[in-house]
Chain A
Amino acid sequence: MNFWDFLGSRHQQLLADAYQHASAVFQCMVVATLIGVLIGVLTYRSDWAGNVATLSTSAILTIPSLAMIGLLIPILGLGVPPTVTALTLYGLLPIVRNSIVGLRGVDPALVDAAKGIGMSRPARLLRVELPLAWPPILTGIRVSTQMLMGIAAIAAYASGPGLGNEIFRGIASLGSKNALNQVLAGTLGIIVLALLFDAAYVLLGRLTIPRGIRV
């Protein structure tokens, strides 16, 4: 059975896995974005807090993903909970770092002007600082998503959802006639998903970055 026949016969299973993969990454990204931007907003004004936030999120990233999921299984059990937790934690670093860099990069004169015309602290943040920091934050989200696409495959180790299942099944049955096809289908599926997400981010950028600051 060549690869195309394999795809033809298994396309339903593959599509279901791909859908689950995408949906897991998407949901984790939403949570990671909310938490990441919040951490950024809370810490960017102090050198010390900002550094702690960046350092601790990058410390998380250095934990091997297999080990992370392995460590989470005894606490959260198998399946979706350890997957979501691990992906969200991994997704934080680029978002936290870019939020902090983006918010700190807003021209102080503009913040001064916003204050001077009588904008309250929340108004300044929501109407001036966050919109201006949005392009770097969006870049962080993009990087994060690319990363999570790959890491999400490991979730299959904890019986999580996604294309990782194809890859793991293939590796487990190495030598059998469809083993290679399975690994290949899972990997290519992840790449295709990653590209689709990236395209979606480009579109999102066009829609959400105001024309005045688009480069």
Chain B
Amino acid sequence: MSETSVSGSGSGSGSSSGSSSGSVSDDNRGEASGGTTGATIELESLTKRYPGNPQPAVENVSMEIKAGETVIFVGPSGCGKSTTLKMINRLIEPSGGRIRINGEDVTDIDPVKLRRKVGYAIQSSGLFPHMTVAQNIALVPKMIGWSKARIRDRVEEMLDLVGLDAGEFHSRYPRQLSGGQQQRVGVARALAADPPVLLMDEPFGAVDPITRDHLQDELIRLQHELHKTIVFVTHDFDEAIKLGDRIAVLRERSHIAQFDTPEAILTNPADDFVSGFVGAGAALKRLNLTRVRDVGITDYPTVTVEDPLQDIFDRLRESGTNEILLLDRRGRPYKWLRRGDLMRARGSLARAGTLVHDTVTRDATLRDALEAVLTDNAGRVAVTGRRGTYEGVVDMETLMNSVHELLEADRLDALEHQHDLEETRATQTHTEQEGFGEVGGRA
């Protein structure tokens, strides 16, 4: 039996790698419906040389990525970050070094097999224009031989996961989608076969800033549900701060200038290169690191459009606030109703109140929330969950208090860190980075 396997010849590097490969795919199969969580990735002195070029494009990159972690490669264009990423699924074959995923050495296995276990999403989505959304998503499950019924269920599940209505988008073609929707489908396709690892190569580089923001929020929400190991390449440091558990700031030839948490990089850049890359306004950027979920969301009196008018009047009267939030049939914020609005509109819900024009998700950063609150004339913004349903409200007061606490905590952290640094210097150790990493970790 062992001799008949075709794939055996591809992964013939050693018996140990063969057996661990089996266990990885078994895990995949076993938990596919429940979701495979991340795998570790180890890069060991990864190098890429191109013929005719004396300087390697990527030189000696070593890095350990923990299971379930989101790691961002950020750096100027041409620094080799994309090349490094593509070496993980061997779209670019490394000239030297090893790659291990979940402890399994994948440097010499059949690249096609490897890539089916590693999700891949690229800029401008890479959807195949001649296939429908469903066909695009079904590609990898089909290739690894899932049953038709299972694939169908999975496609629905994936569309739902990325926040697209399965019935509506299932049989559309990519060109009938907006850029943001295409990108969502791209992510759905990458995740369809439930790979433990997801590689993303500037996936949001080609969409407009507003959509990009939404997609980033979506990715954060997804990652909260899925716990994949994500390696994400971008040249946008703000995006890196927003998405990353850890950020690898890369300089030319993919040399790691600093590999640490966003907080640590912001408050203590390793050198001039990193601080140059962080750019100005580090304090404001700090707001990007805290999310709406971390601050108090206040509950607000709500009614739905289906409630009888009398109930709405009653709620308005008995609520302590001056206004209530009207939700639509699907529980999404629809209008702010003030006292008297209904009277003025002669009891017509269609005409009363002001439309909700901006909402934030729980995963939105405080900066987004602040932005939304500042632009709202009453200084509050509705927080929504999946499919835009109402979850609560954040107002100016909550934000100000949280920001105040945040900055205070940071100041203390920095002081403590300063102290630590002095201590470590005093003890003449060379572990400044690690010492810092523990102190500066997320509070």
B124 engages A117 (CB within 8 Å)? no
Which chain A positions have C-beta within 8 A of B267? Answer: none
B173 engages A118 (CB within 8 Å)? no
Q: Using an 8 Å CB-CB cutoff, how does the interface string of A172-200 with B read, 1 for contact, 0 for none?
A: 00000000000000000000000000000
Given contacts A109-B124, A112-B122, A113-B122, contact A118 B143 (CB under 8 A): yes
What total count of A-B pairs have CB within 8 Å? 66
B124 engages A210 (CB within 8 Å)? no
A212 engages B126 (CB within 8 Å)? no
Identity of the chain B residue whose Cβ is nearest the Cβ of A135 in the assembled complex? B130
Nearest Cβ on chain B to A45's Cβ, whole angstroms: 17
Of A112, A118, A211, the residue contacting B126 (CB under 8 A) is: A112
Identity of the chain B residue whose Cβ is nearest the Cβ of A120 in the assembled complex? B112
* Interface-side segment among B113-121, B212-220, B361-369: B113-121
Of A128, A131, A211, the residue contacting B173 (CB under 8 A) is: A211
Whether a CB of chain A sits under 8 angstroms from the CB of B128 is yes
Identity of the chain B residue whose Cβ is nearest the Cβ of A209 in the assembled complex? B130
- Tally of contact residues, A, Cβ under 8 A: 20
From residue 111 to 125 of chain A, which have CB atoms closer than 8 A to chain B? 112-120, 123
Which chain A positions have C-beta within 8 A of B120? Answer: 113, 116-117
Whether a CB of chain A sits under 8 angstroms from the CB of B316 is no
B173 engages A212 (CB within 8 Å)? yes
CA of A131 to CA of B124 in the docked complex: distance in angstroms? Answer: 20
Whether a CB of chain B sits under 8 angstroms from the CB of A110 is yes
Identity of the chain B residue whose Cβ is nearest the Cβ of A111 in the assembled complex? B126
B115 engages A116 (CB within 8 Å)? yes
Identity of the chain B residue whose Cβ is nearest the Cβ of A123 in the assembled complex? B143
Nearest Cβ on chain A to B240's Cβ, whole angstroms: 22
Whether a CB of chain B sits under 8 angstroms from the CB of A1 is no
Whether a CB of chain A sits under 8 angstroms from the CB of B83 is no
Which chain A positions have C-beta within 8 A of B343? Answer: none
Identity of the chain A residue whose Cβ is nearest the Cβ of B173 in the assembled complex? A212
Which chain B positions have C-beta within 8 A of A119? Answer: 112, 139, 143
Whether a CB of chain B sits under 8 angstroms from the CB of A75 is no
Which chain B positions have C-beta within 8 A of A131? Answer: 130
Given contacts A212-B130, A212-B173, contact A116 B91 (CB under 8 A): yes
Of A114, A116, A118, the residue contacting B113 (CB under 8 A) is: A118
B91 engages A115 (CB within 8 Å)? yes
A117 engages B190 (CB within 8 Å)? yes
CA of A213 to CA of B122 in the docked complex: distance in angstroms? Answer: 20
From residue 83 to 142 of chain A, which have CB atoms closer than 8 A to chain B? 109-110, 112-120, 123, 127-128, 131-132
Add 12 more A-B contacts to A109-B122, A117-B190, A131-B130 (CB < 8 A): A113-B122, A113-B126, A116-B91, A116-B120, A116-B122, A117-B115, A119-B143, A128-B128, A210-B130, A212-B131, A212-B132, A213-B175
Offer 8 A-B interface pairs, CB within 8 angstroms, sorted by A.
A112-B126, A116-B115, A116-B122, A119-B139, A131-B130, A132-B130, A213-B129, A213-B130
Instruction: Sort A-B residue pairs by CB-CB distance and give the 4 closest, nearest first.
Output: A113-B126, A212-B173, A116-B120, A118-B115
